[in-house]
Amino acid sequence: MTRKRWTQCTLALLFAGLLALVAVVVIVDPFEIYHRALFYNPPYKSSAQMYAIAGVAKSYTYDSIIIGSSVTENCTPSVYDKALGGRFVKLSMNAGLARDHAKIMEIAFRTHDVRHVVYGLDLFAYSQYYTNQKAVTPDYLYDANPFNDVKYWFNQDVWLSEIPAALRRIGTPDEDASRDSMYYWQPPVMPSAEELHAMAALPPSMPAQADIARGVEFAQLNLEYNLLPYIRAHRDTTFTIFLPPYSSLYWAERAKAGSLDSFLAQKQLLCSALLAEPNVRLYDFQLEAQWMQDLSLYYDLIHYIPVVNDGIASAIAEDRCRVTDPEQVRTSCEALRAFAASFFSCP
């Protein structure tokens, strides 16, 4: 064999080997970037959520989405199907910020005809600079460019962790079961009321006016870059935006931490802006007594168990706690401020 022939054969074998590696990743596709799982039920690990959520947004069958942080992870899409109509998929990002939610919406609108967005709007998600994210996003999975997927095809973690995890779950994939169960959590042991009070026992501090102003500035920037562009570009899509029902202790803890006034100022800004959009339906569950005052529903100060998520679907369907006027928001903020202050007057 000549040197030239040997080089050609070596390069051909190398190229064939690389193609084989790519083929394995594309066929197994542990993050479902190219298609739904063909022969296994995906594990949907929280540690890989930023990767897997891109595949769910691209490859699942849906016309409606649930967006939000970990408080929306316990939403059951089939419950929302029945309550609100449509076929929902859950695109939650635990600890996600407004920019994270925007990047997920970008995929959903690019790949599907989305008629309904249910968005759990956490004030903390709008309290950071508008370009901030939970972590560095794997943009090569989020974009529509197949040529930069080389980072997926030859990723060490994909080969050593994600593909083996997928192959351990070989069976008949069930999209309906997966969309309900993904990232769903139900704590085996719930904390006592005393333990929750201990979580809220932080030393009080007073916020500076500059902190309030900065919080409002950040909320405005997040609105302008991470939410309103999607609302305005998709007028045929209904955006049902709700403020989640955190526990009563959360508001007392925020007052002690010195950030309550900033959060409430952001809430007024966000709600006033959203009320001006014709395709937005706004709901405020932060004063819903059956939830916020029942500490048995909470795993910590903000995370509630699935029954509350189901109740939110019913409340939206029944049009309960709907906000239609900025005065309602002002009244709600005053009530939350007074509610938090009442904790300090108790012995």
Query: Which three-class secondary structure string do you get for 189-245?
Result: CCCCHHHHHHHCCCCCCCCCHHHHHHHHHHHHHHHHHHHHHHHHHCCCCEEEEEECC
Short-list 114, 64, 71, 116, CA closest to 89: 64
pLDDT recorded at residue 91: 97
Percent of the chain past pLDDT 70, that is, above it, reads 96
Q: How many domains does the chain have?
A: 1
**What residue type is assigned to position 172 of the chain?**
T
Q: In what order do the strands lie in the sheet with 64-68?
A: 88-92, 64-68, 116-120, 238-243, 280-284, 322-323
Q: Are 116 and 32 in contact (CB under 8 A)?
A: no
* pLDDT of 205 above 60: no
* pLDDT of 207 above 60: no
Q: Are 308 and 297 in contact (CB under 8 A)?
A: yes
- Asked which of 107-111, 138-142, 177-181, 185-189 is least confident by mean pLDDT, the reply is 185-189
CA distance 37 to 31: 9
pLDDT recorded at residue 1: 67
- What SS3 state is found at 269? helix
* pLDDT of 336 above 90: yes
Residue 110 pLDDT level (bands cut at 50, 70, 90): very high
- Structural domain boundaries, residue 217: 3-345
CA distance 296 to 79: 22
- What SS3 state is found at 107? helix
Q: What is the pLDDT of residues 158-195, one digit of tens each?
A: 999 999 999 999 999 999 999 999 999 888 889 999 99
The conformation of residue 48, written as its DSSP 8-state character, comes to G
Q: What is the pLDDT of residues 269-280, one digit of tens each?
A: 999 999 999 999
Short-list 222, 193, 58, CA closest to 124: 222
When the pLDDT of each residue in the chain is averaged and rounded to a whole number, the result is 92
* pLDDT of 244 above 50: yes
- Asked which of 11-20, 147-156, 160-169, 241-250 is least confident by mean pLDDT, the reply is 11-20
Q: Which two tokens stand for residue 18?
A: 């690389």
Q: What is the CATH number of the domain that holds 197?
A: 3.40.50.1110
Q: Which two tokens stand for residue 47?
A: 């540690």
Q: What is the pLDDT of residues 258-269, one digit of tens each?
A: 889 999 999 999
pLDDT recorded at residue 347: 42
pLDDT recorded at residue 308: 97
Q: Are 132 and 97 in contact (CB under 8 A)?
A: yes
User: How far apart, in Å, do the first and last CA atoms of the chain sit?
Assistant: 92
CA distance 8 to 37: 37
